[in-house]
């Protein structure tokens, strides 16, 4: 449990950044954990229904993930040679994210989770994937109707946090090449998700377009992906 918790609000753009810090005995403020880079910083967001949602300003980084590994909770995952600790962690499956969420929830003494598909679409704003014209109207071709034939092979090289900029609400890297796991299961997907996306089951991931992948997938290049080319990378962003 974190003691002497201080919440710092920083107004920035259209939103408010919420930085969780602890105050050490010498009066120096630092982020919960070993130092500021070991814990996510959160931005306060109000949904259209008025619900308060605290969104991690960036995807979970290798440095943040390693802190969980060092405590022998999260599995060790090899960081690509071209990446640095400030790049988003990739190569995680949905079950890996749940381990980290459980660990982080204990560190922050609050329930940390993945965003739902609907929440992701709302805070992504202009960076949310746009629906494309269907290729086929024949119901027998529904499985391929949403496939994007204009898509190009993605660049798999990630960038450090902030490398893909901020959106309207000041949230970083939503237009990056790391696709993000959501809490939404195809088994209970709402009407806002095309049936063709969830035809094979799994969990919804969000990025350049919406897709569904098995919870076991770490390398999306080896998985089928309805709606277009598979994601270049799989990572995640946390909320509460």
pLDDT in tens, 196-228: 677 667 899 998 888 889 999 998 776 554 445
141 assigned to some structural domain: yes
Total tally of structural domains belonging to the chain = 1
10 assigned to some structural domain: no
Residue 26: what pLDDT? 28
1 assigned to some structural domain: no
**Distant-in-sequence, close-in-space partners of 157: CB < 8 Å, separation ≥ 6:** 82, 177
How many angstroms separate the CA atoms of 141 and 132, rounded? 16
Average pLDDT over residues 169-195: 83
78 assigned to some structural domain: yes
Average pLDDT over residues 78-98: 95
Residue 191: what pLDDT? 56
CB-CB contact of 234 with 96 (8 Å) = no
Average pLDDT over residues 187-194: 64
Question: With left for phi above 0 and alpha for psi between -120 and 50, is residue 26 left, alpha or beta?
Answer: alpha
34 assigned to some structural domain: no
The bridge status of strand 178-185 relative to strand 203-206 is antiparallel
Residue 105: what pLDDT? 96
24 assigned to some structural domain: no
4 assigned to some structural domain: no
The position carrying tokens 């919960």 is 32
The angle subtended at Cα 160 by Cα 231 and Cα 68, nearest 5°, is: 85
Question: With left for phi above 0 and alpha for psi between -120 and 50, is residue 34 left, alpha or beta?
Answer: alpha
CB-CB contact of 123 with 88 (8 Å) = no
Residue 201: what pLDDT? 73
148 assigned to some structural domain: yes
Kindly report the pTM of this predicted structure. Answer: 0.76
pLDDT tens-digit profile of 95-131? 999 999 999 999 999 999 999 999 999 999 877 766 5
Range of the domain at 155: 59-240
């Amino acid at each position: 449990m974190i003691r002497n918790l201080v919440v710092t609000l920083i107004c920035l753009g259209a939103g408010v950044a919420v930085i969780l810090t602890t105050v050490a005995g010498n009066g120096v403020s630092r982020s919960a954990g070993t130092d500021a880079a070991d814990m996510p910083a959160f931005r306060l967001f109000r949904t259209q229904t008025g619900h308060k949602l605290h969104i991690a300003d960036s995807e979970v980084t290798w440095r943040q993930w390693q802190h969980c590994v060092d405590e022998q909770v999260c599995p060790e995952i090899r960081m690509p040679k071209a990446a640095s600790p400030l790049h988003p962690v990739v190569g995680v499956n949905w079950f890996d994210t749940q381990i980290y969420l459980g660990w982080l929830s204990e560190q922050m003494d609050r329930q940390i989770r993945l965003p739902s598909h609907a929440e992701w679409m709302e805070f992504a704003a202009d960076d949310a994937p746009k629906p494309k014209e269907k290729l086929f109207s024949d119901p027998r071709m529904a499985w391929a109707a949403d496939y994007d034939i204009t898509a190009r092979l993605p660049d798999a090289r990630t960038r450090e946090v902030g490398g893909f900029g901020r959106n309207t609400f000041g949230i970083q890297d939503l237009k990056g090449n790391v696709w993000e796991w959501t809490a939404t299961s195809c088994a209970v997907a709402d009407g806002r998700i095309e049936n063709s996306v969830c035809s094979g089951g799994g969990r919804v991931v969000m990025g350049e377009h919406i897709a569904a992948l098995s919870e076991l997938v770490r390398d999306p290049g080896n998985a089928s992906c309805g709606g277009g080319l598979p994601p270049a990378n799989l990572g995640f962003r946390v909320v509460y």
